[in-house]
Amino acid sequence: MGWGFHTFRTRFVPPIPAAIRDDFTLLRARRVETQTPMMYLMLLATTPTAAWAGAADLHWGIKYGMPALLAVLCVLGLIENWLARGRRMSLRRAQLIVKKAASVSGWVGVMCSSWAVLNWFASPVENHSSFAMIIAMGSLATAYCLSAIRFAAILNLVIGVVPISMLMLASGRPAQVGAAMSLLLGTAILVRFILQGHAMLVDLLQLQHQTRDLAHTDPLTGLANRRALDERIAALLAKGAGKGADAPGFKLALLDLNGFKPVNDVHGHAIGDKLLCAIADRLRETIGDDGLVARQGGDEFAVLIPPHSPLRDAPLAERILIALARPHAIDDVPLQVGASIGVAQWPEDGADADALFEFADRALYQVKAETRAETQPQVPSLAASA
């Protein structure tokens, strides 16, 4: 039975993929923030007619008090929404908006549904349909405005429509039974609309996520590309700028492979591409989750070691050279390449990205020049250079 419920829930209410969960929360919060003023205005407009239509024999606290309380809540909601306009939408704020909207709308739905049911029992039979109309229109409009929050929208429909519909069905009067069936059918259609809209949002965000990944990924090796590297450095610089001299530094290493061109010339570009992928895997394995490995193009790579990484104070160039020293078996052909590496550290070696790249580039080509001076031209099976 548990397995069946889980299957049913996964089929009709699928969970949000983890990769887009934060983006989905932000999108829902923005939509709720945009649509809730419409919901408040709509509910505020119905409160005078609801109070007027209330049963004459009903206690004044229910006849007038509940619509008045709803009006006060709507005014407060409009004021809060107006004051929050223009504020930055952080993930924490988005989570609070979604949670608060779901909670408040649920309690408002309970209050409105209770008001309609109490009026139903206290009113003449000929007035019953008016309460069903008031609560139905309020619930349907509220659900539409909250459609970005799937759970809150469907909960409001259930709370608002189901009780009054059951009373209409139980009345036995053909007109009320027919109206109840139409109301339930309309509710089911709206639920379907909400679920489809939710699925479309998920698909859209997944497509955006995939597009963003493609834009930041090297198609051959699967590493980050230069754009992703630049954005990560810009984020670290922006974060460090707010802390001034107390900000922890980070390292940038540029790698230029030694001996890669002869591999392409002798074995062909297909083998060369496989070698680049093998080197990328080796670098990714060496750096792990403690840094970012990027391919800049051709046989050039970069490694970014962020603050607080265990590798920040390690001899980065030596670590990479040791990892690349082992030969690579590509299609049963042992191939070995080395690398020249230049390392720059922020803020000592440059205050911005351009200065860091320039410093690391100069250090790299100094190493290359020293390597050329120390070695004699020979068969291109080259040892790594520091």
Q: Are strands 338-346 and 250-258 parallel, antiparallel or unpaired?
A: antiparallel
Strands (E), the chain: 250-258, 292-297, 300-305, 328-330, 333-335, 338-346
Residues catalogued as catalytic: 299
Buried b vs exposed e over 266-300: b needs ≥16 C-beta within 10 Å?
ebeeebbebbbbbbbebbbebbeeebbbbbbeebb
Number of alpha carbons in the 13 Å side-chain half-sphere of residue 329: 1
Buried b vs exposed e over 206-240: b needs ≥16 C-beta within 10 Å?
beeeeeeeeebbbeebebbbeebbeebbeebbeeb
Check: CB of residue 256 under 8 Å from CB of residue 340. yes
Distance, CA of 187 to CA of 184 (rounded, Å): 5
Reference 209, options 10, 16, 9, 13; nearest CA is 16
Check: CB of residue 218 under 8 Å from CB of residue 225. yes
Structure tokens at 376: 């004699």
Handedness of CA 75, 80, 83, 88 (dihedral sign): negative
Which residues make Cβ contacts (< 8 Å) with residue 309, sequence separation at least 6? Answer: 250, 290, 291
